């Protein structure tokens, strides 16, 4: 109530101030015109105007009064709009700067125009060293966009994209990020820039030993990939991996050596994983590779060969060098109503078939629809 009264008094005071100022200006202009046209002095015209000019002088004052009111209304609206804009700017700045997720704005040329405070923490680099640089150069030290770059897809399609990704920054920091990219459009509907929102999920869905996705994250990724495959009529594949004779390694060399082997094994497998694939550790010596899009069922041959070649060299574990083999079970999904659990169970059963065949090999099954199998 008191604030409203003070504001009303302030407004009244401003109206009289504007009225006084405008009245003096208008009166001076009128007197100057009268002095020029009638031959009297400016002072006489100002303080003792002829009787016939009194009406004009009253009209001038009335115009000054209404001009003062109009000016106050315009300035009040301007001030109110300015306060709203400043309040909105403050809210947005707080939202961006205090957000627990990293927020980055990129131009069509991949140049970073803005990075919030959280971004500095995730990449271990001051934002002053990020802004103005190419995103792939500033974040991961590459000289060109990665294969299948989702920023490029957002720019080309104007549609948002998302993914979960393991990333090693240029500063050596490793993160598992849930990343979302949104296009910002200009007045013509053309993508002007892209906003990335990246949330660190390392503590939520990562295996603490290998820093790979855990069972929960893998199931999330599989469910998303399966929904996309069913919607678009695509194929996907799940590779279930198990180290041959791992229990014996633990018994002979100890659990610390077994853990070291699992970490090295995970590092080797990472080298065989492509941009859109997800590698996870379910527990023990069980690993899963999700390939969300498969052009043909026979493509599993080259993927399995890629994995087997990656782990074919012996592993250095403490003072020992251990030759390792792996059994792989593959489930190829093509169509039907299979669930993620069905696909995982099928891949697991195929892995046991590879074990029964002596290990160091792979076996393929299909889930739901029939598909070709390797000889």
* pLDDT tens digit sequence for 113-143: 999 989 988 888 888 899 999 998 888 888 8
Q: Give residue 189's pLDDT.
A: 87
Where residue 44 falls (left for φ over 0; alpha for ψ -120 to 50; beta otherwise) is: alpha
Tell me the three-class secondary structure of 193-222, residue by residue. Answer: EEEEEEEECHHHHECCCCCCECHHHHHHHH
Regarding predicted confidence, which is higher, 274 or 17? 274
pLDDT tens column, 206-254? 788 998 888 888 888 898 889 888 888 889 999 999 999 888 888 888 8
**Which has the closest alpha carbon to 300: 246, 356, 367?**
367
Residue 292: phi, psi to the nearest 5? -70, -25
Tokens of 61: 């004052």
Which pLDDT value is given to residue 23? Answer: 62
Residue 355, pLDDT score: 94
- Partnered with residue 191 across adjacent β-strands are 185
Residues 6+ away with beta carbon under 8 Å from 91: none
Among 240, 230, 372, smallest CA distance to 299 is for 372
239 pairs with which residues across the strands? 289, 330
Over residues 288-315, mean pLDDT: 92
């Amino acid at each position: 109530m008191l604030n409203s009264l003070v504001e009303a008094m302030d407004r009244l005071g401003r109206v009289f101030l504007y009225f006084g100022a405008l009245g003096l200006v208008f009166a001076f202009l009128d007197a100057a015109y009268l002095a020029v046209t009638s031959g009297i002095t400016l002072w006489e015209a100002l303080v003792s105007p002829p009787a016939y000019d009194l009406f004009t002088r009253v009209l001038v004052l009335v115009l000054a009064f209404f001009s003062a009111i109009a000016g106050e209304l315009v300035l009040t609206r301007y001030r109110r709009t300015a306060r709203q804009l400043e309040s909105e700017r403050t809210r947005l700045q707080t939202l961006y700067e205090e957000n627990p997720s990293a927020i980055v704005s990129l131009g069509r040329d991949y140049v970073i125009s803005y990075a919030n405070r959280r971004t500095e923490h995730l990449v271990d680099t001051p934002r002053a060293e990020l802004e103005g640089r190419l995103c792939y150069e500033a974040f991961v030290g590459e000289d060109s966009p990665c294969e299948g770059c989702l920023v490029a897809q957002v720019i080309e399609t104007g549609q948002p994209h998302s993914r979960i990704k393991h990333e090693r920054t240029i500063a050596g920091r490793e993160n598992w990020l849930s990343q979302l990219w949104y296009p910002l459009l200009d007045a013509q509907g053309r993508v002007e820039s892209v906003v990335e929102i990246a949330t660190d999920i390392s503590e939520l869905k990562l295996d603490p030993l290998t820093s790979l996705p855990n069972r929960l994250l893998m199931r999330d990724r599989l469910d998303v990939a399966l929904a996309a495959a069913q919607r678009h009529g695509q194929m996907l594949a799940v590779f279930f991996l198990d180290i041959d004779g791992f229990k014996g390694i633990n018994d002979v060399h100890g659990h610390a050596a077994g853990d070291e082997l699992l970490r090295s094994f995970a590092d080797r497998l990472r080298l065989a994983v492509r941009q859109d694939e997800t590698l996870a550790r379910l527990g023990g010596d069980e690993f899963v590779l999700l390939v969300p899009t498969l052009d043909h069922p026979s493509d599993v041959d080259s993927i399995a060969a890629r994995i087997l070649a990656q782990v074919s060299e012996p592993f250095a574990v403490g003072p020992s060098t251990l030759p390792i083999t792996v059994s792989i079970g593959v489930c190829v999904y093509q169509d039907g109503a299979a669930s993620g659990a069905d696909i995982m169970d099928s891949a697991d059963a195929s892995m046991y078939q590879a074990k029964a065949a002596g290990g160091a090999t792979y076996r393929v099954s299909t889930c739901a629809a029939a598909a070709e199998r390797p000889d």
